[in-house]
Structure 1
Amino acid sequence: MKFVVTSKGDETSNTLAQKMRTYLLDFNLEYDETHPDIVISVGGDGTLLYAFHRYQHRLDKTAFVGVHTGHLGFYADWRPKEIEKLVIAIAKTPFQIVEYPLVEVIIRYLGGGKESRYLALNECTIKSVEGSLVVDVEIKGQLFETFRGDGLCISTPSGSTAYNKALGGAILHPSLQAIQVAEMASINNRVFRTIGSPLVLPAHHTGMFKPVNDVDFQITIDHLTLLHKEVKSIQCRVAQEKIRFARFRTFPFWQRVRDSFVTE
Structure 2
Amino acid sequence: MKRFVVTSKGDDKSNAIKTILDQYLSDFDLIMDEETPDLVITVGGDGTFLHAVHQYFHRLEDTAFIGVHTGHLGFYADWLPDEIEKLVIEISKEKFELVEYPLLEVKVFKKHAKEYKRYLALNEATVRKIEGSVVMDININGELFERFRGDGLCMSTPSGSTAYNKALGGAIIHPSLSTMQLTEMSSINNRVYRTIGSPLIFPSHHVVQFKPVNEAQSFLMTIDHLTKSVDHVNLLECTVAKEKIKFARFRTFPFWKRVHDSFISDER
TM-score (norm 2): 0.97
More deviation in 203-212 or 183-192? 183-192
Conserved 8 A contact 1:129-1:215: no
Q: How much does 1:93 deviate?
A: 4.7
Matches of residues 27-176 of structure 1 in structure 2 within 5 Å? 27-176=28-177
TM-superposition CA deviations, 1:60-110 (whole Å, max 9, x none) = 000000000000000001000101000000012511000000000000011
Distance in 2 (CA, whole Å) between partners of 1:251 and 1:150 is 36
Distance in 2 (CA, whole Å) between partners of 1:217 and 1:241 is 27
* Alignment partner of 1:255 out of 239, 254, 257: 257
The equivalent of 1:177 in structure 2 is 178
Q: How much does 1:111 deviate?
A: 1.4
* Alignment partner of 2:228 out of 226, 229, 233: 226
Over the residues paired in the alignment, what is the CA RMSD in angstroms?
0.7
TM-score (norm 1): 0.99
- % identical equivalent positions: 63
Matches of residues 174-253 of structure 1 in structure 2 within 5 Å? 174-213=175-214, 214-253=216-255
Q: How much does 1:53 deviate?
A: 0.3
Distance in 1 (CA, whole Å) between partners of 2:12 and 2:35 is 24
Distance in 1 (CA, whole Å) between partners of 2:250 and 2:260 is 21
Q: Which runs of 5+ in 2 are unaligned?
A: none
Distance in 2 (CA, whole Å) between partners of 1:229 and 1:150 is 17
Q: How much does 1:217 deviate?
A: 1.2
Change (3 A) 1:93 1:82: farther
Q: How much does 1:167 deviate?
A: 0.1
Q: Secondary structure at the match of 1:85?
A: helix
Shift >3 Å, 4+ stretches: none
Q: Which amino acid aligns with 1:19?
A: I
The equivalent of 2:4 in structure 1 is 3
Distance in 1 (CA, whole Å) between partners of 2:12 and 2:22 is 15
Distance in 2 (CA, whole Å) between partners of 1:225 and 1:105 is 14
Distance in 2 (CA, whole Å) between partners of 1:92 and 1:247 is 12
Conserved 8 A contact 1:150-1:186: yes
Q: Which runs of 5+ in 1 are unaligned?
A: none
